[in-house]
Structure 1
Amino acid sequence: MRITEAKFLQSAQGIADSPSPNRAEVAFLGRSNVGKSSLLNTLTNRKGLAKSSSTPGKTQLINYFEINFKTDNEELPYLYARFVDLPGFGYAKVAKSIKAEWNRNLTAYLEQRQCLQIFVHLIDSRHPLLDIDKNVDEFLRTIKRGDQIIIQAFTKIDKLKMNDLAKLKREYPDGIFISNLKKKGMIDLQNKITGYLFGH
């Protein structure tokens, strides 16, 4: 199975102005400089799909992308889902009132969006134990419904020494280990997503 089409659908501030919940959604969330936009572009093989910013925390909207998957099944040649790029947490230099509103909208999306099936929590492989990531992981496990899964994806593995990477893999046996630079781990991540959404 491969992604044949990926296109920007719309941005939203929260659930109220989000698209109709008629597609399974995969939410990508992580700290502001974890490499989320780069990962989405590499995963979908579309260079400018998700806009990365040199200013951490600049993305304050929920961005929706329509994704088409080509299958090997002649009777069902295409399957569809949405990837959802969520605002990065931490680092954002915005007014406290704006940040409070933004956090409220984000929390409501994560807790209440019925078509949300997968949380992809991106973690910088060089700093896997930061409090902010522990808190996010704890929060996701608290709100996760029975029909949802959490995928922990560790980015920037090209910056690790081999023995540090081996240690990380031992500590997180279910993790996905990614390098945007070397395009490593993308197939693993896609297979985990499609395996859960479509059963293959």
Structure 2
Amino acid sequence: MRIVEASFMKSAQSIDDSPSPDMAEVAFLGRSNVGKSSLLNTLTNRKGLAKSSSTPGKTQLINYFAIKFKTENEEIPHLFARFVDLPGFGYARVSKTLKAAWNKNLTGYLEERPNLQVFVHLIDSRHPNLEIDKNVDEFLRTHKRGDQIIINAFTKTDKLKQNDLQKLKRAYPDGIFVSNLKKRGMLDLQKAITDHLFGNQIF
């Protein structure tokens, strides 16, 4: 399975002005400057699809992208989902506590969006134990429904020494380790997403 089309749909402030919840969504969230926009562009192979703000922590909109997958199943040649780029968190101009860092509308999306199936929590591989990321993980695990999964994706692994990367993998055996620069781990991340969204439809 591979992504064959990716396009920007719209920006929204809340679930009230979001697209109709008529297909599965995958939310990408992480600290500002974790490489979220670059990862989305690399994962979809669409340069410039997701645009990062020039001011970290400034963007407060929920950005929706339509994604088309090509499968190996001749009876179901294509499947569809949405990727959702959520505002980054963690900068001084953003409040320290998690629920204040994500404004009320964003928290509402995470808690109430009925078609949200996958949380992709991006973590800088050079700083895997920051308190804010631990708080995010706790928030997600507390609010996660039974039909949702959390994927921890560690970014910027090309900046680690090999020994440090191996230590990180041992510490987080369920993690996915990616590099936008080297295009490393993208197939692993895509497979984790599509396996949950589509299961045996892809075969």
Task: Give the structure-2-normalised TM-score.
Answer: 0.94
Structure 1 residues 95 and 160: alpha-carbon distance in aligned structure 2, compared to 1, 3 A threshold: closer
Partner of 1:152, secondary structure, is: strand
Q: 1:130-183 CA deviation, whole Å, 9 max, x = no partner?
A: 000000000000000000000000000001111110000001001000000000
1:12 match: 12
2:165 match: 165
Q: Which amino acid aligns with 1:8?
A: F
Moved more, 25-34 or 56-65: 56-65
> Could you tell me how far 1:54 is from its partner in structure 2?
3.2
User: Which consecutive aligned stretches of 4+ in structure 1 deviate over 4 angstroms post-superposition?
Assistant: 99-102
Q: Which amino acid aligns with 1:66?
A: A
**Structure 1 position 183 matched with structure 2 position 178:** no
Matches within 5 A, 1:1-80: 1-80=1-80
> Could you tell me how far 1:60 is from its partner in structure 2?
1.1
Task: Give the structure-1-normalised TM-score.
Answer: 0.95
Name the % identity. 80
How many residues get paired? 198
Q: Which amino acid aligns with 2:115?
A: C
2:123 match: 123
> Could you tell me how far 1:94 is from its partner in structure 2?
6.2
Q: Find the aligned partners of 2:130 and 2:95 in 1 and give their Cα distance.
A: 24
> Could you tell me how far 1:93 is from its partner in structure 2?
2.8
Structure 1: 5+ residue stretches without partners: none
Structure 2: 5+ residue stretches without partners: none
2:87 match: 87
Note if contact 2:27-2:86 (Cα within 8 Å) is conserved in structure 1: yes
